[in-house]
Amino acid sequence: SQQGEEDPQALSIQEGENATMNCSYKTSINNLQWYRQNSGRGLVHLILIRSNEREKHSGRLRVTLDTSKKSSSLLITASRAADTASYFCATVPSGAGSYQLTFGKGTKLSVIP
């Protein structure tokens, strides 16, 4: 099965609401990263959380990591129409091959003005 599965696959919310996306993974990780991809564009790195961290904030973004459950969540507060994009989690494994990012299929977020 694929490492880094996001949930839900698609999410539609009103502007101003909070958006929560979840990610599960299967193997031991060194860190977990979240990326955003606007339609037809490249990926933009949002935030990285190390395996020994439990929570991290960056502006309107809050990421949590639970290594015992092998899961992470990304919370976007006070969403804006410009947040409309696909969001991917990506894991970097511990040990050998630790430069490889393994991506999930992403959550497609639509923020309605």
Residues that bind other proteins (CB under 8 A): 2, 4, 30-31, 33, 35, 40-48, 50, 88, 90, 92, 97-106
Least distance CB 35 / other proteins (angstroms): 8
Least distance CB 45 / other proteins (angstroms): 3
Maximum distance among all Cα pairs of the chain, rounded to whole angstroms: 45
For other proteins, give the closer residue by CB, 11 or 48.
Answer: 48
For other proteins, give the closer residue by CB, 12 or 100.
Answer: 100
Least distance CB 101 / other proteins (angstroms): 7
Separation CA 3–CA 23 (nearest Å): 9
For other proteins, give the closer residue by CB, 76 or 90.
Answer: 90
- E strand spans, the chain: 5-7, 10-14, 19-24, 29-37, 43-50, 55-58, 61-66, 71-76, 85-93, 102-103, 107-112
Least distance CB 15 / other proteins (angstroms): 25
- Who contacts 28 (Cβ-Cβ below 8 Å, separation ≥6)? 51, 93, 94, 95
For other proteins, give the closer residue by CB, 18 or 100.
Answer: 100
Q: Which two tokens stand for residue 108?
A: 């497609």
